């Protein structure tokens, strides 16, 4: 296999790809879907985390927080009103500051308070608020301040916000629609033009053509995944493992696209298979969409082992150790797909060789 040939074929795909309607469709569709969901449910352009405060004394913390542009601060006259605001979702978190709050903060060098938390607030908002509180309290004490908040969840804490529910679907759509459809449609186009049948009498081999098309599909899937994460500010605290999972997901999508392109004869059939196969690919996203469905059902879908780490890393700020098992299973699935594609390419090469000898 010649690297030079692969690069040449890859460059051809890059140059001629943008002129293809399928290329434009697989790029534009995920972005439009993400924009629609974000505008409808407030993920992009969303408001800042909302912190409600009931100050029973005259804490410096309130004035300092108002100067911080990270949070939207709302003050309430008493604890009952604050609790009602947190219950209704008017604030993500409602904090009660006792009369001796500043004195206790300076003496213990620890921020201790009771807080009402809206059950449907975004996970990232629940993490941003304590971080801002710690940073603001440091301005009072002059030192690092641990934050100990006694949280009381209000409303339905099992009711995941729709923006979080739909996020996995958008990420899978971006990676798999782009990474799968592009190599599949490109191979089908090659077969319809009968260029693949004569490949063995050209300098490039069938394996090199598959590799180039798979590479462009993987790259496009990765780019689209990164764009969607960027649009939703969802890179989390561990971007490296997140990018790794996007690469594995895009590679899986591309390999599935190569298999689809190898066996499907025309574009109409490809889109029909996509509609049916989408149930298999996006099954875990649909399960995540409706928390009432037992989540263990997702284990039967191969894309679950990509989706779960991506969601944990981007929304819940997980780390390497939290995704290791699912990442390992994904590597195994990708290796199996790679072996299957290699076997298909070998058979197609032998068939073409017999045709021209």
pLDDT confidence band for 102 (50 / 70 / 90): confident
Same domain, 167 and 290: yes
CB atoms within 10 A of CB 93: 25
Q: What total number of domains does the chain contain? A: 2
The closest alpha carbon to 315, from 232, 233, 234, belongs to: 234
- Across the strands, what pairs with 51? 73, 93
| CATH number where 67 lies | 3.40.1710.10
Tokens at residue 245, please? 């999972």
Environment class of 114 (CB within 10 Å of its CB; exposed 0-12, middle 13-18, buried 19+): middle
- The rounded distance, in Å, linking the Cα atoms of 340 and 99 is 69
Tell me how far apart the alpha carbons of residues 283 and 301 are, in angstroms, rounded to a whole number.
7
Give the pLDDT of residue 197.
62
Q: Are residues 309 and 249 in the same domain?
A: yes
Tens digits of residue pLDDT in 206-253: 888 889 889 989 998 999 889 888 877 778 778 899 999 999 999 999
What DSSP designation does 47 have?
P
Higher pLDDT, 288 or 98: 98
**pTM for this structure?**
0.67
DSSP 225-291: HHHHHHHTT---S-HHHHHHHHHHHHHHHHHHHHHHHHH--SHHHHHHHHHHHHHHHSHHHHHHH-T
Return the closest-CA partner of residue 37 out of 231, 212, 182, 283: 231
Q: For residues 185 and 192, what is the distance between their CA atoms, to the nearest angstrom?
A: 10
The CA-based angle 288-93-89, given to 5 degrees, is 65
At residue 44 the predicted structure's pLDDT band, cuts being 50, 70 and 90, is very low
With tokens 């782009």, the residue in question is 178
DSSP annotation of 142 reads S
Residues 169 and 269 in one domain: yes
Residues 150 and 171 in one domain: no
In a shared domain, residues 312 and 200 = yes
Name the domain boundary from 123, 154, 185: 154
Kindly state whether residues 116 and 225 are assigned to the same domain: no
Residue 204's domain comprises 3-41+161-355
> Position of tokens 């996995």?
168
221, 249 Cβ separation under 8 angstroms: yes
Residues 209 and 147 occupy one common structural domain: no
């Amino acid at each position: 296999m010649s690297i030079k040939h692969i690069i040449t074929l890859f460059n051809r795909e890059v140059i001629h790809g943008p002129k293809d309607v399928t290329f434009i469709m697989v790029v534009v569709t995920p972005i439009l879907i993400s924009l629609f969901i974000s505008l409808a449910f407030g993920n992009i352009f969303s408001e800042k985390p909302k912190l409600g405060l009931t100050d029973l004394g005259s804490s410096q913390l309130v004035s300092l927080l108002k100067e911080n542009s990270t949070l939207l601060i709302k003050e309430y006259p008493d604890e009952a009103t604050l609790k009602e605001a947190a219950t209704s979702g008017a604030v993500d978190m409602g904090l009660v500051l006792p009369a001796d709050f500043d004195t206790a903060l300076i003496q213990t060098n620890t921020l201790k308070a009771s807080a009402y938390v809206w059950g449907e607030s975004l996970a990232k908002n629940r993490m941003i608020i304590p971080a801002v509180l710690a940073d603001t309290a440091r301005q009072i004490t002059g030192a690092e301040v641990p934050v100990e908040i006694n949280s009381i969840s209000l409303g339905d804490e099992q009711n995941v916000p729709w923006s979080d529910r739909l996020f996995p679907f958008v990420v899978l759509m971006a990676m798999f629609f782009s990474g799968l459809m592009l190599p599949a449609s490109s191979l089908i186009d090659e077969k319809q033009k009968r260029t693949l049948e004569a490949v063995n009498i050209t300098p490039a081999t069938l394996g090199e053509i598959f590799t180039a098309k798979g590479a462009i599909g993987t790259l496009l899937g990765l780019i689209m995944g990164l764009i969607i994460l960027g649009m939703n500010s969802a890179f989390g605290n561990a971007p490296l493992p997140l990018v790794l999972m996007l690469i594995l997901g895009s590679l899986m999508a591309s390999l599935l696209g190569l298999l689809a392109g190898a066996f499907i004869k025309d574009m109409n059939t490809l889109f029909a298979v996509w509609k049916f196969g989408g149930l298999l690919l996006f099954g875990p996203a649909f399960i995540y969409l409706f928390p009432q469905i037992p989540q263990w059902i997702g284990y039967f879908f191969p894309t679950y082992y990509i989706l779960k780490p991506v969601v944990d890393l981007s929304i819940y700020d997980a780390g390497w150790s939290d995704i290791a098992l699912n990442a390992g299973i994904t590597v195994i699935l990708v290796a199996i797909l790679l072996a299957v594609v290699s076997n298909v390419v070998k058979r197609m090469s032998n068939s073409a060789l017999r045709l021209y000898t």
